[in-house]
Structure 1
């Protein structure tokens, strides 16, 4: 993880490099539509209120959980204690980005969605409510965090989520093996280079030209930046968008030449 000072420097560099968020000067119709119809969609959707109300409750929840932590890519778990409110404060995706994921699902209407890193289920809830006809398969390493997430799905009466608990290195392949394809993937499970690239390569055979992959925290550390650079350079990737906190990968064959966009958000 970068120090606070380096993180600020990285953000300044991003802002200086990023194009405006209105789509002016964007020649790709696909990316222009993403900017104008998804990124800048200011509508308040029906699901936002109930999910954010639950987030507020989690931020004040003093319950202590025993958490199995596999560390950065470790296969052997160790246990530590954390309060739910601390997990909610540090691990949940801010609503700005969670709601962007909702709008992406709402606009592109993927049917099979994979999430690595359920945490307390807030982002998962956004993914699932954006398209109730989709199946969201979410994966969480800690059994006790997974229990809380399942309770949260029940509170929100969400029916289209399947939660798989276990070490991703052991569960990812078997989870996606029966799937015909993956339409949308959100990778937020491990903030190291090797596991992040490995997870992308594991799901790649199930992706198709209209699939979208979102990587979380692409500027969180040197390793994550390295993973982002390698994944966006992959031969299967035709376009990518850097929004600083997340990176978006497209495999759309309408892009005849690989393109990368850094957009202010």
Structure 2
């Protein structure tokens, strides 16, 4: 994989890379994370798809300009800029956490660019939001070590951690500036695609871990109800990073869905 860049409408450079063969599949990471978020599971999809993993503004090799608009809707336009750079007219889109919020806007604002849509551990925002328990979120605002440990527990359970002692790639991009982190938090918190969701025409799969305390599973249920014809797949006992904890199960569900909706028919 070679680092590449696309140019957003406001001139910011957006980092991305591609891996695999087959129909294009965009992979969108969570809040304050670069494309490294997908490293543990990307090979599952690269066997059958040309995966396109992007760095959100302010992460990885993307720019972090002071003049930029920071919103999930803007991040969606950055995704389209990457597709334009690659000469890709339509692609499947799989977004998790904040990446799922971004994916909603890609599908809502640019319907002709999206084949199948997969939304994981995310929310439609606005009236559809089911908030996390404030007591669960409070440790995330303490010192860095406490916040990191708390976020780890929200992402994956102790059994998974025991079997995977290495660094957890979904805890944030250490190279981000504090300003970029703040902007990501605001963009994610202010996300509201609720009124736009019924207009999504792409075949949609919604996945959610039933033990997700960071973004409670009712968010996934409401999201699936809001998008016409959407399928809901609940991953029993999984926390926020269901795609890590139940990798085999979750990847297989996504691959079955994508195979059932090839670009030429979607």
TM over 0.5: no
Q: Identify the structure with bigger relative contact order (alpha carbons < 8 Å, sequence gap 6+).
A: 2
Structure number with bigger Rg: 1
Question: TM-score scaled to structure 2, two decimals?
Answer: 0.31
Q: TM-score, normalised by structure 1?
A: 0.31
